[in-house]
Chains A and B, each alone.
Chain A
């Protein structure tokens, strides 16, 4: 009897045409970098080199900041909000038109499953531009203070886990509020940002409003340190976030920081169990666990922990790990060798600390960077795998006895980005939500995002919010203009 097999259902690569090398996007043109060592970006699922990308030097960053400043003073800050909004609407529409191409490009460069880039990332990117387009001419209604207006030139540094979505989270509110932008995508995932540069050209966005410089840490530091930058927006590790906070100390540069997390996903014995299992899976295996708000600490009420683990393992057995371009794939490739090494190392630590390690034993492709969905049970609060962000498909399972203990354990971390609650009891949800020190609390759901919904952390998970009315705050000056 033939077994019920899913077809390899690869999305076609034909929709993308990746140039063999890329310059920098400054002042509306693709230009050569003035030095710097070009670097290669690879498909993490195959280790195939996709393209060569320029490394922007401090001089290139300077040119980009100047271009952004010129665009700000001469064009963008003088333009009516309504017209700024129309550019954003154009961008939103072009993203929708080129959605398939962007999804394929993202999956090739990042390693995430095509079903996620197609059904989550790219639709949200378009939604972010659409949402913020409408704000451009309505800022005075946003309760931000009197005379809301752009700040000037915004430097933005984004990570590799949601390359285009993080770009949208940064660029859309910045442009809607009248700022101009110098953005650096992550060095391992620059391609969709460069495609976005083309989209800006198709939209006839005035030159210099969006500038995209590629590079690694040094390029990012050049943006942070540039005196012509008025505001920084960063998503990435807490370590780098702290460096940025130090770099801008004593200046008038503003910053929003979206940093790491070690989110607690709390399952009570009365949870809607089948959906809770799905929520656990979504919480930590979505995007290979490369999610700052991942539910990487699973807190299960002790009286149901065996049941939850049994069901979770059964479910993980049906997860399909492999070719990200396959529409049936649930878990794709780890983004880079370096990240794979870190995950491998921390998983080793978990084992050494005595936690019980389990994975589904599924087959993995022979080339590329892969890690099986892994569950550590019997983890204690003091374990490194319960404290440190692994940023991979690894969940640490801890137990609790009472709601108060769940809260105490959930909050017992320097991070405070996300938390999940699974219970059918309404009053307990609201009580828990009040107690949890986290910027986003998902109750009976997990890893949901929306442009209208503010996102951001407490404590060392950073400051500032992205999305919604709240997200505009970081990008406006209010009150009387000072010269």
Chain B
């Protein structure tokens, strides 16, 4: 069976890795020098987002139901899109190893179950995860830049990033400085993202907006565009430490942003909702939204991820249910990280 797991990362569209983002930003904004006021004018010139209309659209998409054959495919796709995550102060090597092992064998009773895209850990656990995952194809993602608050000096944040990359992280999940964003210091946010991207080297950079702190969809849209302008490879909703974490309308707003960015620049940027997505039903709603808003090109774990810990369990349950025809139960899902949710 050719499942999403086997699909290698492909660069169908160039990403910002090899461009000078500041030069490109000047070009896009039509200015000779990238200033905060130029960025402000550009971001505030984006169309607004009407909360009620946006939420109504998301609710409408939630009522779609998909074919059984598509559902089986969608469940495997969703599993393959998971960044299996543990981000606790109590994380131990044992827990991280368990999680990584789980990523390699999501369901011992069904070896054809695809692996999640990545295991997502704190920077000091990258080495441990890497040991287990080796060259399995499952990536190691590390949160960095003084996650989750982002309240540290630029130097510390960049060191945090370099440290994780040096330890073998394939992907970096950074947080933006929400304080700077809300204070209107967009240039600072831009620079921090650009510098972090540079520090990433070959690692892909996911930029966490922490939308629960940005509050409005207008801010979500502006922060998404700012991140893309600064060279982020993914826009990501949340740290999982703040409520609300990912919501469907927030993700929809981000999907509109990456779609429109692609229209504008030809570049494809990924989207990662994180936190609060626990059930297969939720996951499929997100996939429907990806499909209708951004389009099929994003239905791939190179371009869409779920930041989740317990979602895998429910997807495996549903997978078993589809295989056996009977409803399954938690006792039939091997869980190496029962404390993670």
Contacts and interface: CB of A to CB of B under 8 A. Distances in A.
Query: Is the A/B pair a real complex?
Result: yes
Interface of A: 1-9, 115, 119, 270-275, 278-279, 318, 327-328, 424, 444-445
Interface string B42-71: 000001111011101100000111111111
A74 to B, nearest CB: 48
Interface stretch (B101-109, B199-207, B291-299): B291-299
A327 B47 contact: no
A274 B47 contact: yes
Given A9-B65, A274-B54, A3 B49 contact: no
Nearest to A424: B48
Interface of B: 2, 47-50, 52-54, 56-57, 63-71, 73-74, 256, 287-288, 291-292, 296, 299
A450 to B, nearest CB: 14
Chain A CB within 10 Å — which of B47, B56, B73, B299 has the most? Answer: B47
B49 A274 contact: yes
B70 A7 contact: yes
A41 to B, nearest CB: 28
Nearest to B290: A4
Contacts of B68: 7
24 contacts: A4-B299, A5-B67, A5-B70, A6-B66, A6-B67, A7-B67, A9-B65, A119-B63, A270-B48, A271-B47, A272-B47, A272-B48, A273-B47, A274-B49, A274-B54, A274-B256, A275-B57, A278-B53, A278-B56, A278-B57, A328-B65, A424-B47, A424-B48, A445-B53
Given A275-B53, A278-B56, A278-B57, A4 B287 contact: yes
Contacts of A278: 53, 56-57
A279 B60 CA distance: 13
A7 B65 contact: yes
A327 B74 contact: no
A5 B67 CA distance: 6
Contacts of B52: 444-445
A362 to B, nearest CB: 14
A107 B189 CA distance: 52
B8 to A, nearest CB: 14
A2 B65 contact: no
A327 B53 contact: no
A274 B61 CA distance: 14
Nearest to A275: B53
B74 A4 contact: yes
Contacts of A6: 64-67, 70
B73 A275 contact: no
A2 B50 contact: no
Given A2-B73, A4-B74, A318-B292, A270 B65 contact: no
A2 to B, nearest CB: 5
B70 A4 contact: yes
A4 B68 CA distance: 11
A272 to B, nearest CB: 4
B49 A275 contact: yes
A5 B66 contact: yes
Nearest to B55: A275
A358 to B, nearest CB: 19
B66 A7 contact: yes
Ranked 6 nearest A-B pairs via Cβ: A275-B53, A7-B67, A273-B47, A275-B50, A272-B50, A9-B65
Contacts of B49: 272, 274-275
Contacts of A328: 64-65
A279 B50 CA distance: 11
Nearest to A4: B291
Contacts of A272: 47-50, 53
A212 B69 CA distance: 47
Contacts of B71: 7
Given A275-B50, A275-B53, 20 more contacts: A2-B70, A4-B66, A4-B74, A4-B288, A4-B299, A5-B69, A5-B70, A6-B70, A7-B71, A8-B67, A115-B63, A119-B63, A273-B47, A278-B57, A318-B292, A327-B63, A328-B65, A444-B53, A445-B52, A445-B53
